[in-house]
Chain A
């Protein structure tokens, strides 16, 4: 069948919803990569095998949906029972029979599967009441966890492809670009460049061929929003891409997916094939003159391949090395043709802008950073996962309201935003509104939305060293300031963390950073010194402590710490057997002693001591 009009979309929607009306209840099982790793597929299979044997009124296996990621992966596998929204966490295969019996056949809530709020210790039944979800505003992630990503009809039933129909049949390309500009949407891949302006510059270039590309490289370790969207709602990306193609006059588009994302590739590919079958990709879409097709390009998994010019080279089959952008890719991009490249999340926002209007979108967030942003919240917070919040929300709200605060109520120390070349912000910046400009002004950046929370046991020199090392390895190695400069920065950081630092090293690092920022070819080098510069800006004392006092205040840098047993030692001898280096001596009920010569600072004794009497400093 071919869908050729908005009316037919409505028909598909009606049929799907009528089908769903047969069911008194529906079960949503999260089948994102995180939950799958914890056995979600086995849970789906178990539902299937039980329902084959047992008939239940108003419920069949068709009412069991494998959905995309809910974002709360650490609590997975997640099972949600609609319409109440009963939220079961950490479900196991053996629980399924019980869930069917109690919560589907009757309306009983099984307490032991419910989520316990870490702050109030209360059990919470419905997922919209869980703090992790209740403070979010889901726009780009609107369908994640709600629809079955491999079923195009489910997407259409949720309003999908209506925006494309509207755009193609009632708007000119120029109208489309004006609408996107009016929404204020800025690119979600890092730079925050206005999407409307980018589309306009590309559309203005005269050429027979234009391209649109979706950037799903997501090289930022720890970030998984793009993966989740491609896995959990691939059609919203395709619809956004098609609208962009219409706006700039492209007939061909690419989705660049990193090779480590096999499920995203499968779901994207299925979505493309379904669209071709339904006539939503191909010739004369919605009986207009618009023809458009999409291909998947698989990335080699290098961080730098997410950079626009490297990505385009990689799509063209060349080595993924950035080139100088004195001629921009909207003018000369893929195969030297005018090209629009946007991030996955950017495209996922497009359909809803046309569904609800640019003014609606522009009303969310702040004036200069409209809409929402997806973050992957990780580190020392109680609730970790994927969250979507309106721009302008404060770091404090994210970390304490959604994240539930710091694990074990330890003191907050810093939050690292923006991925490996982002920066660290201290406690004094907790009330900073999160938007493109304020993060940059304060020495960090939005990046793709990584957010790592750190507690008082984190050493900021160590953090800078860790990220700089990542960048040394991930630099493409083409240009000297980045390749050699970051390498030397890392060497200086190692020197300081090992207690060999000199007072002049800080100046040297600052001067070298300035050259790396100014002289590097691409964004990786230009932002590469960020981890160092931001920690120097807010935690300079910690650098001085390492250099002047040869001390690591957080107790992390091995060369600068010693382990000592305090007088509170009960003499239980637990640490003696835990130490593989035989560095601890002592008798029962007498205070034990660590031989500093033998101690390798491995930390095994601290883990073994039940009385917290081993002092590290």
Chain B
């Protein structure tokens, strides 16, 4: 265990834990859009920036992103210093110029007193905040069906070559993790469409309830040692389980590889 100070209060945290987790445990709210427990920290939005110093740093301070900064003994953290608030406000202001209609950003900005961007709105802005959660979760599932393409201001999330992604199995992990609901899909109980592809759903042999897509089922049977008939049985609890954390499935895979 290590001991550190957060906003003046002595706090204990587990070695190797990230600052953001320790901060949240204290009930302190700071915005963080690219962080999610299902995937590794990424450090893209910079909203979770906090100020750190140590008693022996001679007054020197640093700004770090708490989502991927490991806790350290004797660290003194301020989550809402003047500089940090200025950074956060500026980032939210910049975000609003690109994604003026994204509710998540609107709400976060409102908390910091911003309702309209003070910058020039980006002409072809949309709701994608480029948090990279979708591509990271897709990678983690083992599909790597979508990725970020391009660089600079024109970077976007897309399937390879902008075509229907051949490696996508229609699991919806990306759409479910997307914090701004930018990734659109349809599902009528028989077919599901996402990223311009159509998937047929497996149905429960007894109730006729849809479970998951055929491609996803085939993948899990092949790569994760799941019994072939597993998805032809409908069980609301087990379905809920599946939908809730896709990360678990990866976890099974890990054990299998180990």
Contact = CB atoms under 8 A, between A and B. Distances in A.
A473 B150 CA distance: 10
A588 B43 CA distance: 69
A478 B7 CA distance: 29
Contacts of B68: 324, 326
A84 interface: no
Interface string A309-326: 000000000010001101
Interface stretch (B83-91, B195-203, B248-256): B83-91
Nearest to A479: B44
B63 interface: yes
Given A474-B151, A480-B45, A488-B97, A519 B91 contact: yes
Interface in B184-232: none
A302 B151 contact: yes
B153 A515 contact: no
Contacts of A477: 130, 148, 150-155
Contacts of B90: 481, 485, 511-512, 515, 519
A324 to B, nearest CB: 5
Contacts of A267: none
Interface residues on A, range: 20 to 34
Nearest to B99: A484
A363 to B, nearest CB: 34
A491 B121 CA distance: 10
A512 B153 CA distance: 17
B208 to A, nearest CB: 43
B93 to A, nearest CB: 9
A483 interface: yes
Contact of B130 (A324, A481, A483, A518): A483
A518 B68 CA distance: 16
Contacts, number: 102
A519 B46 CA distance: 7
B150 A481 contact: no
What does DSSP make chain B's interface, helix, strand, loop or mixed?
A: mixed
Contacts of A518: 63, 83, 87
Interface in A458-487: 472-481, 483-487
Contact of B153 (A324, A475, A511): A475
A179 to B, nearest CB: 32
Interface in B51-110: 63-65, 68-70, 83, 86-87, 90-91, 94-95, 97-98
* Chain A binding surface SS class: helix
A565 interface: no
B119 interface: yes
A520 interface: yes
A479 B98 contact: no
Contact of B43 (A304, A319, A324, A473): A324
B94 A481 contact: yes
A73 to B, nearest CB: 30
A326 B70 contact: yes
A323 B43 contact: yes
Interface in A342-382: none
A479 B94 contact: no
B120 A483 contact: no
A92 B174 CA distance: 61
Interface string A474-513: 1111111101111110010000000000000000100110
A515 B91 contact: yes
Contacts of A326: 64, 68-70
B181 interface: no
Contact of B94 (A476, A485, A511): A485
A520 B43 CA distance: 9
Contacts of A474: 151-152
Interface of A: 302, 304, 319, 323-324, 326, 472-481, 483-488, 491, 508, 511-512, 515, 518-521
8 contacts: A472-B153, A475-B153, A477-B148, A478-B132, A481-B46, A488-B120, A518-B63, A521-B65
Interface of B: 42-47, 49, 63-65, 68-70, 83, 86-87, 90-91, 94-95, 97-98, 118-120, 122, 130, 132, 147-148, 150-155
Given A326-B70, A476-B155, 12 more contacts: A323-B43, A472-B152, A478-B130, A480-B44, A481-B91, A483-B152, A484-B97, A485-B94, A488-B94, A491-B119, A511-B86, A518-B83
